[in-house]
Structure 1
Amino acid sequence: MSDVPLPSAAASADLPDVAPHAPALARQIRRLAALPEAPWLHGEVGRRLADKLVPIRIEPAHWVDWSAFLGAGAEAVAARYPEARRWIMEPHAALFERSLAAWQAGQSSPWWRRWRQASSPVSQADAPRPDGWPADGVQMVWANMTLHASADVPALLAHWHSLLDVGGFLMCSGLGPDTATELRGVYRALGWPLPTVDFIDMHDLGDELVQAGFQDPVMDMERLTLTWPDATAMLAELRTWGGNVAVGRHAGLRTPRWRERLLQALEAHCRRPDGRLGLTVELVYGHALKPLPRPKLAAETRVSLDDMKRMVRHGHDRT
């Protein structure tokens, strides 16, 4: 398959749920975009999310890899759908640059050219659809470890819904509310503002999916306990996951004395019987379908031309 032209990055702006409404979140995303590679945790969650594709019978011809650099799920999805066309979409300019650079580097690699997914274009999430985009949308949106990185989850779900063809499905994941309970306990004990936002609950996510127009949401969660030899190693890895964007967080920079106090508190409160420091991570997974549009009946009912075409076309598909 020949390469597909890339849309211009200069013509795109950051998604509204990232920059204007959450400048702290935008700063953290820019920092994460500078990492040498995606966080280990994101790759592990991506493999677990990909395992949930096994029983799904839908075979996507096209799929969106949302926040591809940090999501780190391309290989796992390609193993399940080797013939599917991958479209890379990034919600932030800095992440766009990372994925674009990786995509362009891959075009010069002989082994990458043999991988059909290499011909996928890279775009920012709010850019016009690039050449070759399927007229009715893609059959899967893959969004690994992204739910907790949005200041407006309903808007994000609505955007994912708009990318899908009727009968397509969403696979998403993120951090749940029990994540870092030990760390939050340390901050409470020290009288400090909490170090995390309120992560979305599995049941709330299911409700939000329905509100966004999805059908038959399937929710799942699991808890992991990660361990480190000491507090310094713990904080170093936590920094690769993101940073504190909670309202009421400490303003400005912290001092070396503050950091030393935090390290001592972590050593005292998070030490496990095996001698290592432990931290709980709750993972939330979501899967849902995009159904046929169902206009609300009234004395006068208006249906968009695009929705009418979809209803007629998919009605014929079932006959």
Structure 2
Amino acid sequence: MTDPSPYRVDKQRVRATFDRAAPSYDEAAVLQKEVCSRLLERLAWIRLQPAWVLDAGTGTGQGLRGLRQRYRRARAVGLDLSPSMLRQAGKGGGWWRKPGLVCADVEALPFADARFDLIFSSLTIQWCNDLDRTFAGFRRVLAPGGLLMFTTLGPDTLHELRSAWGAVDGHAHVNAFFDMHDVGDALVRAGFADPVMDVERITVTYPRMGRLMRDLQAIGATNALLGRGRGLTTPSRLRAAEAAYEPFRNAQGVLPATYEVIYGHAWVTGAPAPSPMPARGVIPIARK
């Protein structure tokens, strides 16, 4: 289920943009923090006492901190593609108690089979190129009875921004996102049991398009598609995109930025799937 180029994500660009955004991420990531909080709240309805927990795509560590607060006896590991994000996560203190931080791609998890009882992943898998590979990796490192709980973004995300740029040129300015049904189908193909999917739409409002663009840059959520335009955005093209965004301005006089947030969870039953790669163990690169 790999997306064909030019809609594949450039992982080197993803790492670089999140590295640059790490110092400004927490201040600008309003939507991301809200979604992570909502996913953490859903754990209250799950009867599970994990011994090992993985936060896949931990960023600056919000999910990892929440997991350690909820499961105080568990060993919690945070994984992220960006070394700078992990350094930000490692700045926590007090009850943090030196969590393991691992720099790796969620599409190639460097862990032994059946290592974790819970994988938590908030707004990360939309940066993956291959859902089948990603979910197969999650399935491999989850122990029997383990749980995968995640959020990702659906195709209606930032449709206003996509429409505005679409009126200006033919380049992709907004990343492509998987449909909820495709995500559910990929869970089944990976061997997960009892997948549950639901969706909600969250709208963030802005006084002007430029502020939205700055926020996206501040959190590292810039266009990372291989098919993106490589030239500089000229002032005239930016003004044209801003003008094309104006028809979306609502009765309150603000511009909406819509996020289609997909929630999912699924269980592992039986024996773990055979490993498609040699187990390399946990490699912590940052501790506090």
TM-score range, shorter chain: 0.7 to 0.9
CA gap 1:22/1:30 in 2 versus in 1, 3 angstroms: farther
Q: Paired residue for 2:253, among 269, 272, 275?
A: 275
CA distance in 1, matches of 2:202, 2:272: 40
Opposite residue 235 of structure 2, the aligned amino acid is P
Aligned residue in 2 for 1:264: 243
The runs of at least 4 aligned residues of structure 1 exceeding 6 Å deviation read: none
Map of 1:216 onto structure 2: 194
CA deviations over 1:67-114 (Å, ceiling 9, x no partner): 211563123323332322211222x2xx134314643x44xx4xx2xx
Is the 8 Å Cα contact of residues 184 and 195 (structure 2) preserved in structure 1? yes
Unaligned stretches of 5+ residues in structure 1: 1-16, 296-302, 305-319
Instruction: Indicate yes or no: 2:211 matched with 1:233.
Output: yes
- Work out whether residues 215 and 291 of structure 1, in 8 Å CA contact, stay in contact via their aligned partners in 2: yes
1:163 to 138, 141, 165: 141
Give unpaired runs (5+ residues) of structure 2. 276-288
Query: Equivalent residue for 2:234?
Result: 255
How far off its partner does 1:174 sit?
1.0
CA deviations 1:236-287 (Å, max 9, x no partner) are: 1122251223454322222222222222322x22211110111211001110
Which residue in 2 is equivalent to 1:8? none
What is the alpha-carbon root mean square deviation over aligned residues? Answer: 2.7
Does 2:62 align with 1:72? yes
Q: 1:46·1:76 contact (CA, 8 Å) conserved in 2?
A: no
1:47 aligns with 2:25: no
Corresponding position of 2:282: none
SS at match of 1:44: helix
Q: Does 1:30 align with 2:16?
A: yes
Pairing 1:180–2:170 present: no
Give aligned pairs, total. Answer: 262
The superposition leaves residues 166-205 of structure 1 with CA deviations (integer Å, 9 ceiling, x where unpaired) of 1010011111111111122222333433422331111111
Amino acid at match of 1:31: T
Percent of residue pairs identical: 32
Contact 2:9–2:129 (8 Å) recurs in 1:
no
SS of 1:53's equivalent in the other structure is: helix
Higher relative contact order (CA 8 A, sep 6+): 2
8 A Cα contact 1:169 1:287, kept in partner = yes
Matched, 1:89 2:76: no
Q: Which runs of structure 2 are paired with 1:93-242 in the superposition (5 Å)?
A: 95-100=82-87, 102-103=89-90, 105-106=91-92, 109=93, 112=94, 115=95, 117-125=96-104, 129=111, 136-239=114-217, 240=219, 242=221
